[in-house]
Structure 1
Amino acid sequence: MKTAKQLATLAKQAAPTIALATTSEKNDLLKKIAYSLQMNATSILEANEKDIQRAKQNNMNEQLLDRLRLTADRLEQLADSVLQLIHLPDEIGDLSAVIHRPNGLVIEERIVPFGVVGMIYEARPNVTVDACALALKTSNAIVLRGSSSAVESNKALVHTLKKAFEQTTIDPNCINLLENTSKAEATQFIKLKGLIDVLIPRGGAALIQKVVEEATIPVIETGVGNCHIYVAKSADLHLTKSIVLNAKTQRPSVCNACETLVVHEDFAKRHLSSLAEALLKEGVTLLGDSFAQSLHASIGSATDTDWSTEYLDLTLAIRCVSSTIEAISHINTFGTKHSDAIITNDNEEKEVFFTQVDSACVYHNASTRFTDGFEFGFGAEIGISTQKLHARGPMGLKALTTTKYCISGNGQIK
């Protein structure tokens, strides 16, 4: 079993083979990857079942099991997402700017890959495919460190992806998986400065905090999703029910699911009881402030901790407020700068929300569940950035590139 340093060294050595590949060669590789996923679906699902059974023995809850689980349909969707990347433009080598200086120098800003990307993530084996496909399309090599809970799935997926490199000139070490999932090896992985050019953590708050605080490699921080929906005074009840139910119950284990419902008191007096009934019918546990509790007997008591919790299950916190400004203040105080929505018929109120809520994605009259690279037309995503430098929001192809300046002269000296 190779160490993190050995795998990163191999990826660094292999990186030029993908960096020099043409768009046609990269797209052909992606096509082979999609085909390999389809042809090896049985062995991948068998490996995933081993992870599922072990997780059940370890009493993993159903929502986390859902994130871990692969199905035939989900594998087919992964193959489709890889194929979609083929149709997206390849910007590597393109010029983002050309500057002609008075002294005759011509300065070109070119789009280039990072080189070697490091990915450290939890539970979700679909990230393995998305990350590899995005890295290859942007001419990057990638080293993956998944969690112990998904190790069999990830091994099967990477083995399948490497098969696609056969009969190509691209080195299969452009994608490598760290099979040793110990914490000690993970700590070494995030300190491989010089071998890995950028590190992307994707998972829970504890993982992301550890990587941000301890890594010696530049980090693109992805964030947890304590996502909010604010229901304004003018909101339509039917529209509100549809959006809130979708955002909370369609797939509660994901980071773009709604965790806190902020409701204007006027709307709450008229409609919160009806909205609560709809949520309770779907099995949602409701926790609220004293105002919300006074409007429905089944709403339990929320604590200060609930306002900042990413539940990832069928639990929803409810906070009632007297104004949009109070709602925005609550979101900016307790949110994670991920995805937050307003339901309102007032365009001026919408613009205030859009301007003042400090999140990567803000929505008007739509579910937060759309914060996703596929839904944004990126083909796939490598994560959702909640920071402000380099990338923000769903990270597709562009987020895995940087620039360099190429300066042409004819003898200029200073």
Structure 2
Amino acid sequence: MESEVIVKARAAHEAARQLAAAPTELKNRALMYIADALEVHRGDIMSANEKDVDRARAGGMGEAMLDRLSLTEARIKDMARGVRQVVGLEDPTGICLDDWNRPNGLHIRKITVPLGVVAIIYESRPNVTVDAAVLCIKSGNACILRGGSESIHSNMVLVSVLKEGLSRAGLNADGIGLLENTDRALVKELLTLRDYIDMAIPRGGAGLIRMVVTTATVPCIETGSGVCHVYVDKDADLDMAVRIVENAKVSRPSTCNAMETLLVHQDVIRPFLQKLMLVLTEKQVELRGDNQACAFDDSIKKATEVDWGTEYNALIMSVKTVSSLKDALDHIRRYSTHHSEAIVTNNKKTAELFLQDVDSAAVYVNASTRFTDGFEFGFGAEIGISTQKLHVRGPMGLTALVTYKYVIHGQGQIR
């Protein structure tokens, strides 16, 4: 008897042919039906999500992760609004990237086409279920989704809503598949189905990403964890720096673009911490610092070597004093996951040196790392944030879900 994985992967593979050929108008119609269905079924969605949240809370899940798991009426409305925004985006398929004529008379065009079947493995956040499926549909791809066990009830209802939208538009509902069995062995099987799966994309913590990358025999895009840094330079506007650090750490600490480590130039460490502590103490942020930071305030715990490389996903932040821009850059180079880094400075030369040296997907001057996001970048929704260099890097929108092929016209040429 075939496993659930093979059955759903084969069905998605067949559905991908229809989706690849579907005109933009038909794909958009399916997305509009999905947006409507999300609002119509919001009661069912919230009831299912409540089961997941209750079970996760009973299991000891922290508040930051519970926030990622929770779906409110406002968040469901935002999901529907996001789907409608994707409708307004340009279809990334069928675009001619280049064309030319050869001396032998052949006319060659380079055309964007869907990837095929995309396997997306993720944790906690049920909104990823909708974002991922919608972007796949718009780009003409089928998808196999595998969310975490903590969100299984939410995901089952959401996928039924997504399938309803596809069917209503006359498209094959198998274009969206969900692995309802949360056994990790099935994920490993999925990641080796080269006959049916064209790309795997993990979204989650470092452990999940490492498992997918090391297990997959299908092509894989590494969406890395976010050990993100903010460096407050000696020439920084300290009030601006406080606002940026507060936003980068506090606004939503469970996300991969939240800041984990604060680097501060030694010339401004005391006046900056004086300002910052007033804000972070009120927000109940735990600080773990080096000797100089700990000497400033007894409430700052001593940081260990592990802290510098930890993605907390919580209201915890590491603080390190640096003696120079080079010191800050050396620290980032050693501990960064190549996601997002920021500098706060009014010195243009220092800012340019920072931008040139830091090898991360997104590098900021005088802005919060929290902007590393497909929606904030103007991509509509996002499929993830890639920290590798091929075939995409940074927030991945629709254009990350296509490849290309060469289309050649001749008049009987032979070689």
TM (norm. structure 1) is 0.98
For 2:71, the aligned partner's letter is: L
User: Is the contact made by 2:33 and 2:169 (CA closer than 8 Å) also made in structure 1?
Assistant: no
Aligned residue for 2:203?
202
- Residue 174 of structure 1: how far off its partner (Å): 0.4
Aligned residue for 1:313?
314
Aligned residue for 1:91?
92
Which deviations, in whole Å up to 9, do the C-alpha atoms of 1:38-74 show, x marking residues without a partner?
0000000000000011111111111111111010011
Please give the alpha-carbon distance, in whole angstroms, between the structure 2 residues aligned to 1:91 and 1:212: 26
Structure 1 residues 356 and 99: alpha-carbon distance in aligned structure 2, compared to 1, 3 A threshold? same
Aligned residue for 1:255?
256
Aligned residue for 2:162?
161
- Residue 361 of structure 1: how far off its partner (Å): 0.4
- Residue 193 of structure 1: how far off its partner (Å): 1.0
User: Is 1:116 paired with 2:117?
Assistant: yes
User: Is the contact made by 2:199 and 2:218 (CA closer than 8 Å) also made in structure 1?
Assistant: yes
Please give the alpha-carbon distance, in whole angstroms, between the structure 2 residues aligned to 1:76 and 1:167: 21
Q: Secondary structure at the match of 1:191?
A: coil
RMSD: 1.1
- Residue 2 of structure 1: how far off its partner (Å): 6.4
User: Is the contact made by 2:33 and 2:168 (CA closer than 8 Å) also made in structure 1?
Assistant: no
- Residue 164 of structure 1: how far off its partner (Å): 1.1
Structure 1 runs not aligned, ≥5 long: none
User: Is the contact made by 1:256 and 1:368 (CA closer than 8 Å) also made in structure 2?
Assistant: yes
Which deviations, in whole Å up to 9, do the C-alpha atoms of 1:193-220 show, x marking residues without a partner?
1101000011111111111111111001
Q: Secondary structure at the match of 1:165?
A: helix
Q: Secondary structure at the match of 2:100?
A: strand
Aligned residue for 2:29?
28
Aligned residue for 2:358?
357
TM (norm. structure 2) is 0.98
Larger deviation, residues 134-143 vs 294-303:
294-303
Identity %: 50
For 2:25, the aligned partner's letter is: S
For 1:29, the aligned partner's letter is: A
Which deviations, in whole Å up to 9, do the C-alpha atoms of 1:366-402 show, x marking residues without a partner?
1111111111111100100000011100000000000
Aligned residue for 1:274?
275
For 2:24, the aligned partner's letter is: T
Q: Secondary structure at the match of 2:50?
A: helix
Please give the alpha-carbon distance, in whole angstroms, between the structure 2 residues aligned to 1:123 and 1:101: 52
For 2:208, the aligned partner's letter is: L
Please give the alpha-carbon distance, in whole angstroms, between the structure 1 residues aligned to 2:3 and 2:163: 16
Q: Secondary structure at the match of 1:9?
A: helix
Aligned residue for 2:183?
182
- Residue 99 of structure 1: how far off its partner (Å): 2.1
How many pairs align? Answer: 414
User: Is the contact made by 1:2 and 1:178 (CA closer than 8 Å) also made in structure 2?
Assistant: no
Q: Secondary structure at the match of 2:48?
A: helix
Aligned residue for 1:374?
375
Aligned residue for 2:293?
292
Structure 1 residues 173 and 2: alpha-carbon distance in aligned structure 2, compared to 1, 3 A threshold? farther
Larger deviation, residues 199-208 vs 275-284:
275-284
User: Is the contact made by 2:30 and 2:168 (CA closer than 8 Å) also made in structure 1?
Assistant: no
Aligned residue for 1:146?
147
Which deviations, in whole Å up to 9, do the C-alpha atoms of 1:200-244 show, x marking residues without a partner?
011111111111111111001100011100000011111011111
Please give the alpha-carbon distance, in whole angstroms, between the structure 2 residues aligned to 1:303 and 1:104: 67
Aligned residue for 2:244?
243
Larger deviation, residues 217-226 vs 269-278:
269-278
The 5 A counterparts of 1:38-77 are 38-77=39-78
Please give the alpha-carbon distance, in whole angstroms, between the structure 1 residues aligned to 2:297 and 2:106: 71
Q: Secondary structure at the match of 1:135?
A: helix
For 1:321, the aligned partner's letter is: V
Structure 1 residues 310 and 244: alpha-carbon distance in aligned structure 2, compared to 1, 3 A threshold? same
Structure 2 runs not aligned, ≥5 long: none
Q: Secondary structure at the match of 1:242?
A: helix
- Residue 296 of structure 1: how far off its partner (Å): 2.2
User: Is the contact made by 1:273 and 1:296 (CA closer than 8 Å) also made in structure 2?
Assistant: no
For 1:59, the aligned partner's letter is: G
- Residue 86 of structure 1: how far off its partner (Å): 1.0
Please give the alpha-carbon distance, in whole angstroms, between the structure 2 residues aligned to 1:99 and 1:350: 41
Which deviations, in whole Å up to 9, do the C-alpha atoms of 1:172-192 show, x marking residues without a partner?
100010100101111111111
- Residue 100 of structure 1: how far off its partner (Å): 1.7
For 2:36, the aligned partner's letter is: Y
- Residue 273 of structure 1: how far off its partner (Å): 2.5
- Residue 267 of structure 1: how far off its partner (Å): 1.3
User: Is the contact made by 2:29 and 2:169 (CA closer than 8 Å) also made in structure 1?
Assistant: no
Aligned residue for 2:347?
346
User: Is the contact made by 1:17 and 1:169 (CA closer than 8 Å) also made in structure 2?
Assistant: no
Please give the alpha-carbon distance, in whole angstroms, between the structure 2 residues aligned to 1:365 and 1:215: 38
Larger deviation, residues 166-175 vs 9-18:
166-175
